[in-house]
Structure 1
C-alpha cells in the first residue's frame, strides 16, 4: 500500500471505527466516509505545481 491517498483513507477509517467504539459491521461505512473526507482535504490542498510556481515567481521578483 504505497498510495498516499489510500494510506490516509485507511488511517481515517480506523479513527472513525475507534471513535464509534470499535464495533464490527460498519467497515464499508467508515471507509466511504473516510474516502469522502480525504478527497475533500486533497481537493483543498494546493497542488505541488502551483506551490512551485508561486515560489519561483517570488524568487524572480521578490517585491
Structure 2
C-alpha cells in the first residue's frame, strides 16, 4: 500500500503552473471551476487507488490555523 506524497514531486512545477494558468485564461468563474473539477476527476481516475484518494481528500480539507 502506498502513502500520499505531500512533498514537492512535480517535474518542472513552474512550467506546469504556467500551463494551468494558461488553461484558465479567459474563462469565467463557472467555466474555471468546471475545468478544475474535470482536471481533478481525470487525475483521480489516473491515481485510481481509493486509499490514496481518501488521504488526498483529507489533506486538502485540513484547516490551517
| TM category, shorter | 0.3 to 0.5
Give the TM-score taking structure 1 as reference length.
Answer: 0.36
Q: Name the structure, 1 or 2, with higher relative contact order (CA <8 Å, separation 6+).
A: 2
Answer 1 or 2: which has greater helix percent.
1
